Structure 1
């Protein structure tokens, strides 16, 4: 008999939180009880889940009493304050924010890549950045067979990665452009007092704020998280993260250098056998991954695989995934499922 667990969802009304709820239902996660937690402002409102109506409760430390799994997706400040309180009360926190990702002693997990890291959890498990998840999922089976020495990635990230407000702004700006009107911008590239630029008919080479080294915070997340997840602290990683006018589905151009030479057919075979990966590479029929086809799909799609023209150990890949699914909500639920299967809950 499958063990049933008590679940709390923090931030259920956001883009990722609502997708988490849908995944809990779709994957038939064994729920004994479930509660939805939010700020005092949202407490008392109703929310629908799996055919029933629930009342949103205020997210307080005491609200986590009796909770087995707490799914957090309400912002880093909320996680900073409440995740330790939830863990203190016996809950396993799966946190979708960036707050704990690089914290010592907190596993940063993509189940297909480093499931074993769950064994070391101390109450909090971090869900990686959306763009990191799909890249390491694609690279892990290649690294396992041929080694890996360096990674250079350029991302083409959908606006849903910045939340519901960014989705609505893309839609409204597109409509205004179509009417021949000037557009206004208030969300991208950063939700702050910095300049904002239209995303419709545009590409913005900035996601999150710039750091002193010239990389953005998003780029440094990819660099540091990749090293942690793959347990390769000395791996050379570089990233350029770009926001594009796509609603859902992140795309990535990835260049890798291997420790030993491999044929294209050997790379194909490694990916075909990898869990959670769909090899989509048939250039004779224009068969390659695109976000419009990845939206709503669970796997990570990999294609346009080709050996570098100047380095026999170099390969170029095109990687696409639904950033709200494998890039966020689905990976969180898969972590919870792995915890159950490994008797860690």
Structure 2
């Protein structure tokens, strides 16, 4: 298999490289692609130096698969061009997620719906992936009516520029601001652009992508997305209301038995998910599970995951593994 990684020098691209090595996925050729300033430089992969290529040169090489992690503009400009050349595309941007003709895939949930006809597969937003990983098995059992979400999102969700701003502010250095305000020792209730009604794009992604993945437009979802001065991952406070009542111990057992989830839920021993515990881990962590006694059939919980891993790179590589296992490539 010939694989292109577009955006290889970015934070997600680097994690994809690490995962390909960790999982020992066989590649005939790797085509690393980055912006003009990186073309001709070399990356290390499996103890070899490989030259970074332009997207134009890679396009002419006709890779079997391409993973795009270079933003929506690049994906919109080049994505369909690659697929028309015969390349199967896994896209990590927001460009195609809500396109009705493209599937939005979390392999543990809806990977079974991928077919040979799919030439462009969309990777969901990082905060959406960790949310649906926890909620989907509960939805199958108890049927979710409403979800209230508050996210506390790492600066790594803004890429290297967000991380640079935080680190420079910590070191009291002059810095280019990617956020409207200082992020060090601050909390900013603003992720991505606001629409005319006051919701941010990040909040709308959570709502719309969750409904698409669940194939259910009737679930009531509201969200607030917040940027916090954290490096290790995204955290989410969740309130759920189900159609059916639940047994709290049975519910915990369902989560404990779900592949890709780690239950950390023992308040007597102060065991609960935190970004510092979840960094560089491919799983999604859930804890602080308790009934919401203010409403019938309702529940509170806390979810944490490394947004660069399962929230981005890991999910994309798992899609690749699914395609290989099912001989779609």
TM-score range for the pair, normalised by the shorter chain length:
over 0.9
1:170 aligns with 2:170: no
From 142, 154, 161, the counterpart of 2:157: 161
Instruction: Give the secondary-structure state (helix, strand or coil) at the position aligned to 1:28.
Output: coil
TM-aligned CA distance change 1:210 to 1:273, over 3 Å? same
Q: Is the 8 A contact 1:35 1:56 kept in 2?
A: yes
Separation in 2, partners of 1:88, 1:131: 31
Matched, 1:240 2:224: yes
Q: Which one of the candidate residues 28, 43, 46 is aligned to 1:47?
A: 43
Q: Which moved more, 1:7-16 or 1:307-316?
A: 307-316
Q: How does 1:84-99 map to 2 (within 5 A)?
A: 84-99=80-95
Q: CA deviation at 1:323?
A: 0.4
- How far 1:201 sits from its partner (Å)? 0.4
Spell out the pairing of 1:125-204 with structure 2 (5 A cutoff): 125-176=121-172, 186-188=177-179, 196-204=180-188
Alpha-carbon offset, residue 140 of structure 1: 0.8
Report the alpha carbon displacement of residue 70 of structure 1 after superposing the two structures with TM.
0.3
Partner of 1:337: 321
Shift of the alpha carbon at 1:206? 0.2
Deviation, structure 1 residue 64: 5.2
Post-superposition Cα deviations, 1:192-226, rounded to whole Å, max 9, x if no partner, equal xxxx2000000000000100121001100111000
Match of 1:24 among 17, 20, 23: 20
SS at 1:35's partner residue? strand
**Which runs of structure 1 show a deviation greater than 6 angstroms over 4 or more consecutive aligned residues?**
none
Q: 1:240 to 1:163 in 2, by over 3 A?
A: same
CA separation of 1:343 and 1:240: change in aligned 2, threshold 3 A: same
TM-score where L is the length of structure 2: 0.97
TM-score (norm 1): 0.92
SS in structure 2 at match of 1:60: helix
- The secondary structure found in structure 2 opposite 1:253 is strand
8 Å CA contact 1:8–1:64 kept in 2: the answer is: no
Instruction: Sort the Cα spacing of 1:153 and 1:110 in 2 relative to 1 into closer, same or farther, 3 A.
Output: same
Equivalents in 1 of 2:199, 2:113: separation in Å?
A: 28
Alignment partner, residue 56 of structure 1? 52
What is the CA-CA distance between 1:39 and the residue it aligns to? Answer: 3.3
Gaps of 5+ in 1: 189-195
- Residue by residue over 1:255-298, the C-alpha shift from the partner in whole angstroms, topping out at 9 and shown as x without a partner, is 11111000110110110111100011001100100000000111
Give ranges in structure 2 of 5+ residues lacking alignment.
Answer: none
Question: Which residue is equivalent to 1:263?
Answer: 247
Distance in 1, Cα, partners of 2:116 & 2:257: 27
Task: Indicate how the Cα distance of structure 1 residues 170 and 84 shifts in structure 2: closer, same or farther if over 3 A, else same.
Answer: same
Whole-angstrom distance in 1 between the partners of 2:197 and 2:60: 40
